[in-house]
Structure 1
Amino acid sequence: MIEFKNVEKKYANGTTALQNINLKIEQGEFVAVIGLSGAGKSTLIRCINRMHDITEGQLKVDEVDVAKLKGKQIRQFRRRIGMIFQSFNLVTRTTVIKNVMVSFVPDLPLWRKLTGIFTKEQKIKALEALDKVGILDKAFIRVDQLSGGQQQRVALARTLAQNPDIILADEPIASLDPVTSKLVMDDFKRINKDMNISVIMNIHHVEIALEYCDRIIGIRKGAVVFDGESSKVTQEILDDIYGGKLEEVKASLEEKSANV
């Protein structure tokens, strides 16, 4: 379980990114965090794995006080949490399977890190992860030969290979066309249901969030203004979350999709 208690986040320049956040996210939930750019969506999910430190309140993951972790404890804690980025964060000049096996590097002895030699078991785990996202046949192809959607699936396979309890996704479909976006979201949904992995996703595509995610958290100016089931989201609620600017957001997304 992930629990925020009166969490605040202020940056060094005085900007308040999060204020009075109180949330509980149970294991196995599929949650979308929505709101305008700059509302605090990315900050919220990045506090969960200590990419950002909170400045007030308490954040716990399975009763572990995240803010109190130090050094090696933080690295071990992050092994349980996969992170998917909009930019994929892949090494494009090497093969798909080598990118997936990067997830094992923190646990390797020094000589394996230096030589890049992985165990047979790790190679099998990497192939199994690729199979789960439907691109096993691309294992020995260079990443730069793949489409954007296939690259995002490699990033997802890399995360699955570390056997996480939680997946945090920061705009995972922002740079994908509508058809590919649906395929990637299908992967997230299947993994969430079949493997009982919690998925917390920061996403601009409201219709896709409502279609795929079980729960919606709406953020406006760093505060939670809605938290409930996707089926309970009305136009009035969306207008409140987006301050009446939802149509502008949709128009911007449609323009980006046309240029993908």
Structure 2
Amino acid sequence: MIKFEHVSKTYPNGVKGLQDINLEIQDGEFIGIIGMSGAGKSTFIRTINRLNNITEGSLMVDGVEISTLKGQTLRQYRRKVGMIFQSYNLVPRISVIKNVMSSLVPDMPFWRVLLGLFSKEEKISALEALDRVSMLDKAFVRTDQLSGGQQQRVSLARTLTQNPSVLLADEPVAALDPVTAHEVMDDFKRINEELGQTVLINIHHVDLALEYSKRIIGIRAGKVVYDGPVSGMTQEILDVIYSKDEAE
């Protein structure tokens, strides 16, 4: 379980990224996070893997206050929190399977990293992850030969090899056409249902958020203005979330 208690984030320039966030996320939930650009959606999900440190409050994951984690303990924690970015972050000139196996590097001895040696079990794990996102047939293709949607699926497969309990996705389909965006969202939904992994997706497309999520968190000016089931979402609530009036 992830628990936010009076969490705020203020950047060095004084901008308030988050303001007094209080909520709980249960294991296995599929949550869509919506809001205007700059509302604090990315800040919110990046506090969970400590890419952003909170400045006030408490953020507990499975009973552990993550703001106190340091060094190896923090690195081990981050292995359980997978992150998928809009930009894929793949190495273009190597094969798909090597990109996927690159997620294993932090746990490998230096000499194996230096020589690029992966065990049979690690290769099988990478192939299984690719199979989960329907990319097994592209395992030995160079990554720069793939479409944007295919590259995002490879990015997702790479994250799956970490065996994370939580998947964070920061605008994973923003650069994709509608058909491909649905295909990638289908992958997230299937992983959530089959593996029971908690999924939090910061998503620009409200229609996709409402279609795939079971719970919506609406953020405006760093504050949670809606937190509830998709069935409770109304046009009036959407108007509040996407209001351009910043006078609060």
How many Å separate the matches in 1 of 2:210 and 2:28?
17
- Aligned partner of 2:51: which letter? M
2:75 is equivalent to residue 40 of structure 1: no
Secondary structure at the counterpart of residue 125 of structure 1: helix
How many Å separate the matches in 1 of 2:14 and 2:183?
40
Match of 2:9 in 1: 9
1:244 positional shift: 6.0
Match of 2:128 in 1: 128
Secondary structure at the counterpart of residue 54 of structure 1: coil
Match of 1:258 in 2: none
Match of 2:31 in 1: 31
How many Å separate the matches in 1 of 2:96 and 2:23?
37
How many Å separate the matches in 2 of 1:193 and 1:51?
27
1:23 positional shift: 1.0
Match of 1:252 in 2: none
Q: Identity over aligned residues, as a percent?
A: 64
Match of 2:153 in 1: 153
How many Å separate the matches in 1 of 2:119 and 2:75?
22
User: Which residues of 2 match residues 142-221 of structure 1 at below 5 A?
Assistant: 142-221=142-221
1:227 positional shift: 0.2
Match of 2:105 in 1: 105
Paired residues, what number?
Answer: 245
Match of 2:49 in 1: 49
1:68 positional shift: 0.2
Secondary structure at the counterpart of residue 130 of structure 1: helix
How many Å separate the matches in 2 of 1:64 and 1:151?
34
Match of 1:22 in 2: 22
Secondary structure at the counterpart of residue 87 of structure 1: coil
How many Å separate the matches in 2 of 1:13 and 1:164?
33
Secondary structure at the counterpart of residue 32 of structure 2: strand
Match of 2:228 in 1: 228
Output the aligned Cα RMSD: 0.8
Could you state the TM-score of these two structures normalised by the residue count of structure 1? 0.93
- After the TM superposition, list the runs of 4 or more consecutive aligned residues in structure 1 that deviate by more than 4 angstroms: none
- Aligned partner of 1:50: which letter? R
1:64 positional shift: 1.1
Match of 2:59 in 1: 59
- Structure 1 gap segments, 5+ residues each: 246-260
Could you state the TM-score of these two structures normalised by the residue count of structure 2? 0.98
How many Å separate the matches in 2 of 1:159 and 1:83?
7
Secondary structure at the counterpart of residue 42 of structure 2: helix
How many Å separate the matches in 2 of 1:141 and 1:14?
46
Secondary structure at the counterpart of residue 21 of structure 1: strand
Secondary structure at the counterpart of residue 32 of structure 1: strand
1:179 positional shift: 0.3
| CA deviations over 1:46-76 (Å, ceiling 9, x no partner) | 0000000000000011011110000111100
How many Å separate the matches in 2 of 1:104 and 1:150?
21
- Aligned partner of 1:147: which letter? S
- Aligned partner of 1:123: which letter? K
- Aligned partner of 1:241: which letter? I
1:116 positional shift: 1.2
